[in-house]
Chains A and B, each alone.
Chain A
Amino acid sequence: MPCWRMEKSKRRTRIVVRIEIATLINRDGKINRRKMDRLAMVLSNLNNSGKQIIVVSSGAIVLGSEKLGLSNIPSAKIDMQAMAAVGQAELIRSYQRSFDEYGQIVAQVLVTSDIVDYPQRMENTRNTFDMLLSMNILPIVNENDPVSTTDIELDDNYPLALKVANITGADFIVIKSPDNGNYDIVAGNNQPVIHAEDEISLQEGIEDLCCRDARMASHPREIVFPASMEMIYSR
């Protein structure tokens, strides 16, 4: 049963959804349209139910390599950066196509991982997210790899999802598992991870947490999320 208390309060529940591209592509490196459409449907639905959704998705390098017809993903950093520049356009285009099916407009937000070192930049990024979400737009975030000076995080984009969750003051992080496509809801503050086997139980799990949260949080508080995937699953 949906909980209306949270929806009635001024602040809407904010959820960062972390997607690894491996969960959405076929073996040939091409996007699996059925899977991406399904994901877009679920997230559009969550958005419709009053939640604010931010997607953090990897995939630019993989799609760039596929686009250029490479049989393998290059290993040199410079080549990965070039692939990312080619593939990011492709990635956002694919998402947009799927979300368009459900009338959901998306926006592309590219950040570098050192964003947290620049308070002014962080503030501006937070404002951009707030504005997009208030306009019911779904931001799709990725690392700005072509200009990144730090190491490129090819498949583990959890650190980026964590940064985005912290910057935007998200309530939960949802992780789509690459192994079985299931969802894990990370509620932070040392609460147990909730596993959702399908989209319906994901929606239910989130409603459930919103109710619990509405009871617990009468005042704004800092949510501390686990700093790594290992920490999430070791508990």
Chain B
Amino acid sequence: MKFRENLKSKNRIVVKIGTSSLSFPNGRINFHRIEKLARILSQLRKKGMQVVLVTSGAIGVGAARIGMTERPRELPRKQALAAIGQAELIKIYQKFFEEYNQLVAQVLLTRDVVEEPERNRNAKRTLARLLEMELIPIINENDTIATHEIEFGDNDTLSAIVACLVEAGLLIILSDIDGLYSADPHTDPAAEIIHSVHDITPELEKLASGAGSSFSTGGMVTKISAARICQQAGVDCIIASGSDPAVILEILEGKKIGTHFVAGPPSVIQNESLQK
């Protein structure tokens, strides 16, 4: 529990919310969910914390905007819908955050933010400045000009990269999965949530590949790889269910929610396991 206690002192956090948490199963936007997320993040900001939001959902919102019922498959159509939907999505966030007197900033990133040192420094500086100005940056991938299927693979990886960019203490990934299970919960009634992970072992990865969700882009595999990026950078990472954004507060109170990928230099972790 000591590691959970550490989360109470986190001052700069990144919250990632997936499409499945922002919308109803039919793909339409869930305003209630966004409203609550905006309220909680604004509240944390007012308490003096620095908060960054990484959001998915542009393609879904774009599809709904033009009355499309199916999620598109071809890249150009996805990119077009992302361009329509991002405009709409940021408008919705702006509206809800402003109800809590919180200003937001839109930052759209592409893969080269990791690959090119100059772009990396630049994005880092802009984000730091926005946080200094007590704004909440809302980040998404710049899908419109992305060169591959989806450059970051999914926003899970993007959120881990952002957590490193802003030197966050904690990344919270909210999705339709409430954590990593010991077995596939859909088929195995004995499956239990794993609350704490120190080492991402091959066995653990194998476990993750079975328990993905069919709806979200990433599933568990991309979340594990996001967690690994965080672990290596010394950032704590929690994977939890986004069905109620209030879990963010509970996580910050040190409650045992979701799966905690404990950060820290390898030596510290070894010492811990020796003590056990």
B258 part of interface (Cβ distance < 8 Å): no
- By CB atoms of chain B within 10 A, which of A81, A89, A93 has the most? A89
Complex contact B80–A105 (CB within 8 A): no
Complex contact B145–A85 (CB within 8 A): no
B267 part of interface (Cβ distance < 8 Å): no
* Residues on A with beta carbons closer than 8 Å to the beta carbon of B79: 124, 127-128, 131
**Main SS at interface, chain B:** helix
B259 part of interface (Cβ distance < 8 Å): no
* Residues on A with beta carbons closer than 8 Å to the beta carbon of B142: 110, 144
* A135, closest chain B residue (CB): B80
Partner of A85, one of B65, B105, B116, B122: B105
Chain B residues 81 to 102 lying within 8 A of chain A, measured CB to CB, are 83-84, 86-88, 90-91, 94
A78-B129, A124-B145 are known contacts. Are A68 and B103 too (CB-CB below 8 A)? yes
Q: How big is chain B's contact interface, by range?
A: 35 or more
B104 part of interface (Cβ distance < 8 Å): yes
Q: Count how many chain A residues have C-beta atoms less than 8 Å from C-beta atoms of the other chain.
A: 42
Complex contact A108–B86 (CB within 8 A): yes
* Residues on B with beta carbons closer than 8 Å to the beta carbon of A92: 87, 90-91
* Residues on A with beta carbons closer than 8 Å to the beta carbon of B76: 124, 127-128, 130-131
C-alpha spacing A16/B40, complex, angstroms: 42
Partner of B130, one of A82, A89, A115, A121: A82
A233 part of interface (Cβ distance < 8 Å): no
Chain A residues 91 to 112 lying within 8 A of chain B, measured CB to CB, are 92-93, 96, 105-111
C-alpha spacing A127/B74, complex, angstroms: 11
B44 part of interface (Cβ distance < 8 Å): no
Complex contact A137–B108 (CB within 8 A): no
A193 part of interface (Cβ distance < 8 Å): no
Complex contact A93–B91 (CB within 8 A): yes
Q: Mark B124-139, 1 if CB is under 8 A from A, else 0.
A: 0110011001010100
A120 part of interface (Cβ distance < 8 Å): yes
* A122, closest chain B residue (CB): B145
* B142, closest chain A residue (CB): A110
Complex contact A79–B144 (CB within 8 A): no
B107 part of interface (Cβ distance < 8 Å): yes
Complex contact A68–B133 (CB within 8 A): yes
Q: For residue B71, give the distance in angstroms from its CB to the closest CB of chain A.
A: 15
A108-B83, A118-B147 are known contacts. Are A89 and B94 too (CB-CB below 8 A)? yes
Complex contact A89–B104 (CB within 8 A): yes
* A83, closest chain B residue (CB): B105
* Residues on B with beta carbons closer than 8 Å to the beta carbon of A42: none
* Residues on B with beta carbons closer than 8 Å to the beta carbon of A93: 87, 90-91, 94
Partner of A146, one of B77, B94, B107: B107
* B77, closest chain A residue (CB): A131
A82-B126, A89-B90 are known contacts. Are A111 and B145 too (CB-CB below 8 A)? yes
Complex contact B119–A82 (CB within 8 A): no
Q: A86-B103, A121-B145 are in contact. List 14 more A-B contacts (CB 8 A).
A: A68-B133, A78-B126, A81-B129, A82-B133, A85-B126, A85-B137, A86-B130, A86-B135, A110-B142, A110-B144, A124-B146, A127-B79, A131-B80, A148-B122
Which positions in B face A, CB cutoff 8 Å?
A: 62, 65-66, 75-77, 79-80, 83-84, 86-88, 90-91, 94, 103-110, 113, 116, 118-119, 122-123, 125-126, 129-130, 133, 135, 137, 142, 144-147
Which positions in A face B, CB cutoff 8 Å?
A: 64, 67-68, 78-79, 81-82, 85-86, 88-90, 92-93, 96, 105-111, 115, 118, 120-121, 124-125, 127-128, 130-132, 135, 137, 139-140, 144, 146-149
